[in-house]
A and B are shown apart, each in its own frame.
Chain A
Amino acid sequence: MEAAEEKTGSMSAAQLRAEKRRRKLLLNSEDRMNRIVGFAKNEPDHSAAALRPAEPRFHLDLDRSEPWSSPSPRPSPFLSEAPGVRSHTATPERRGSPLPDFGQPRRASLEGDVGGLRHRAKAERPSDEAGGSPRPGLHQYLSRFDDAMKLRSQLANEKPEQDGGSDVEEFDPFRVFRLVGSVLLAVFVRVFVCKYLSIFAPFLTLELAYMGLSKYFPKVEKKTKTTVLTAALLLSGIPAEVISRSMDTYRRMGDVFSDLCVYFFTFIISHEILTLFGSETP
């Protein structure tokens, strides 16, 4: 009898505990649903999220297009999706980072993202005004902070690669062709041409010819390294397209300079060799 009473008492205590647990779960179910459906919280972002205690209140992460409590959508400037469409899949870094580092397809998505950035920034202001969002400046700051953290992690990832092969020149077929052409032209100019005109005239002609010949060679996509400079330029608001084009122009100028150095060097060496043999022959 007493055992039965104890059992009933313990069951009711267990039942009471179960009931309490059930109520607690029901109370938090809405929040849990919001968390599951509203955004996909990425695990690597937890460390970054730990640095931003105020973030859950305003702008959780770049995949989320809706905040917790605010009714109006608040998309990240680096998302290329329309407002209200949620993405659960990838971070902007994977989908289309603003960083010019992954070749043309990503560059296209990057430019699209940055175009989306501008469009979104323009659209965000009236929508914020319409939706009554209280702190657009703070949102922008937080989104830029997120981007800065991502750029920092990307720089940190790229740094070991750069340390291993810093300043290594890449030799694609066209580059090799250019250098060999410069060497041959320099020897030819030293032997036959230099008495009649300046040595730089044939070089300029050669470079013009290379510009025309470049389309006949297979294009090699060069991976643009994310350096501190590019990251700083991106964060300061300069469009990624402008940065890509500038870096492309700078690379072409570097190629021309390399050709000129090889040409001049070969010319001087041939001149010295010919002078040496000329002085030695009786």
Chain B
Amino acid sequence: MATGCAWFLVLGSVFLCNLMKILLPSISSFLTKMVQKDAEQESEMRTEIQQMKKEQSSISMMDEFARYARLERKINKTTDKLKTHVQSRTAQQAKMKWVVNIVFYILQAALMVSLIWKYYADPVTVVPSKWIAPVERLVAFPTGVAGCGVGITCWLVVCNKVITLGLSAIS
């Protein structure tokens, strides 16, 4: 027979999975920030470039050409270094996002499979078959006992749809 709170357990699991899916980008960016140790270097380089540009704008190219050209070279060199840094950071972010997504989907699949494994023979909730005629067999799948109640697969699909709608309405 159905466990008392089986329907609630399935509902809670589906809610958690959908919530995690929405939070995945934040999680991946948080993990990226944790992994990256030289994030400050980038802001330092940006500040340095800004200061050099400010200095360069204050000097006249005609009067102090050598100094101007030297500053220009420094700016170019620092800009190239910053570009390389940003590229590597972006690549690392993309890689982290990919890893986080893969891990999440594996965990989600494992959770769903374990729920189905646990409740495949028992209905998550019991309702009289007369109420859900004429699709009682479909609703009760895969319990195999028509008139027993709601099967795990039907309840999973329904919960997933409703929670997706609810979360998209909220967000």
Q: Which residues of A contact B (CB under 8 A)?
A: 167-169, 171, 179, 194, 198-200, 257-258, 261-262, 264-265, 268, 271-272
Contact = CB atoms under 8 A, between A and B. Distances in A.
Helix, strand, loop or mixed for chain B's interface? helix
Contacts of B107: none
B168 A169 contact: yes
Contact of A271 (B8, B125, B161): B125
Interface of B: 7-8, 125, 127, 130-135, 150, 155, 157-159, 161-162, 164-165, 168-169
B146 to A, nearest CB: 14
A200 B132 contact: yes
9 contacts: A169-B164, A169-B168, A169-B169, A179-B165, A198-B132, A257-B161, A262-B161, A268-B155, A271-B127
Contacts of A264: 158
A200 B133 CA distance: 8
A57 B165 CA distance: 54
A268 B161 contact: no
Contacts of A261: 157-158, 161-162, 165
A278 B54 CA distance: 76
B132 A258 contact: no
B131 A268 contact: no
A262 B162 contact: yes
B159 A265 contact: yes
Contacts of B8: 272
Nearest to B167: A169
Contact of B169 (A171, A257, A271): A171
Given A271-B125, A272-B125, A198 B161 contact: no
A168 B171 CA distance: 9
Contacts of B125: 268, 271-272
A262 B169 CA distance: 14
Nearest to A199: B131
